[in-house]
Chain A
């Protein structure tokens, strides 16, 4: 049914685009972020309804059923997933977006005679497939369905170059012939490239790859808008692509590295990926009571949360401990490294869930000078983001990444599960320093014990 005239269709698309931009504006401040997200959802709803009312669609019952299935799967998962599993879910949702764009491009090939439209199809197919497969591998890594360490093999750059060259050839085939055979080949090559792109990435680089793949999905969607001749898709895809690119660059800058360095660093590094070996060197291990005394008689405590806190679901206990210390008149802040955890903003979300006010979450640039005046830096389940190897050891895979300067604090306490190195698999020299003590155990249990001991002081 085409109930809407082209003019009305354009006006509604324009309204949706304005809603998307207002949504981004709202999302830039915590006070208005939730409303911003709802405005974005409303824009998307307007866009979908406009498509139904403005174009001659076939198979409408089937389409509605597919929408129902997609919503029925995604909404409950999104609502119920544990906060700690949020990064992999975000990766997955992002990946299916890229996959959808690639499938649309594949189907549109049969009625694309213009070589420029075919070129847009080639781009959508390739980038969408890379985003889909790359997000899939990221999901598998974060869900620990496969090793979380960088996977590097000899000749990886050569294989990657061969895949990309073959993709260019297949793409040329699609533009010239318009045939489905090279298009399917291109899709397969794109999937392979996505896998190869993410395999060598590990540790603190994972959040950046999630952000990068998000940008890829945006670009694929924008290109699919060119394929379908839909301006709103171009606008929405470009917004996602641009904001994803800005976030990726900002995060890479926060690590003191270039995006290319992150993607291709592991290609070159090879053996620097680190080991899983447990060190035998002596450390000062301490009891929950000792840690409670250190904290309870401090004036200023800075808590550094990491992925271990998320895994142990210890965010509520951490928040309680912070409250108990504040009740004793102690100044407590949380130091958030830009790439702590496994997705952008992971720690912020986790601690917000535990009712830590966002004013207490301090970003790296703001908190780093304050470690000098801190009596205790309490590192909970973090490793790579406080590892001085990033400053001192030029051969280290994390060399050049700015870290939280916990070594400046008078005392450093690590709550760790074991002496196993972090996600990046690099030994942390700070663990062996004289001002450092360690409390071994699950982050949540350790925090609960320390909290109990603080209350009895």
Chain B
């Protein structure tokens, strides 16, 4: 019983911690254009969220 419960905690923690870290790493890469004066309208696109938690 305890072993199963602890396995559940390990899995849930992996889901939670892994999900947030992976999302942060991916979002870290998105940035707006730095140089100014380039033509073309700046349309903003939302990066799709890949893991809800």
- Which residues of A are in contact with B by a Cβ distance under 8 Å? 24, 27-31, 33-34, 37-38, 40-41, 44, 59, 62-63, 65-67, 69-71, 73-75, 77-79, 81, 86, 89-90, 93-94, 96-97, 99-100, 103-104, 106-107, 210, 214, 217-218, 236, 239-240, 243-244, 247, 326, 331, 333, 343-345, 348-349, 352-353, 355, 357-363, 366
Contact = CB atoms under 8 A, between A and B. Distances in A.
A61 to B, nearest CB: 11
**Main secondary structure on A side of the interface with B:** helix
Given A34-B27, A89-B22, A349-B29, A214 B45 contact: no
Contact of A70 (B10, B40, B43, B49): B10
Interface string B2-20: 1011111111111111111
Contact of B11 (A37, A99, A244): A99
A89 to B, nearest CB: 6
Interface of B: 1-2, 4-34, 38-53
B23 to A, nearest CB: 5
Contacts of A244: 52
A100 B8 contact: yes
Given A41-B20, A67-B13, A28 B32 contact: no
Contact of A97 (B9, B11, B31, B44): B11
Given A63-B6, A67-B9, A344-B48, A74 B21 contact: yes
A38 B12 CA distance: 18
Contacts of B42: 359
B15 A78 contact: no
A21 B40 CA distance: 33
B2 A62 contact: yes
Nearest to A31: B32
B18 A77 contact: yes
B10 A344 contact: no
A114 B44 CA distance: 50
B34 A357 contact: yes
Given A28-B46, A366-B43, A240 B11 contact: no
A93 B26 contact: no
A99 B27 CA distance: 26
Contacts of B14: 70-71, 73-74, 93, 96
Nearest to B49: A27
10 contacts: A69-B10, A74-B13, A78-B25, A79-B25, A89-B18, A90-B51, A103-B8, A243-B49, A243-B52, A353-B29
Given A358-B31, A358-B32, A359-B32, A30 B44 contact: yes
B23 A349 contact: no
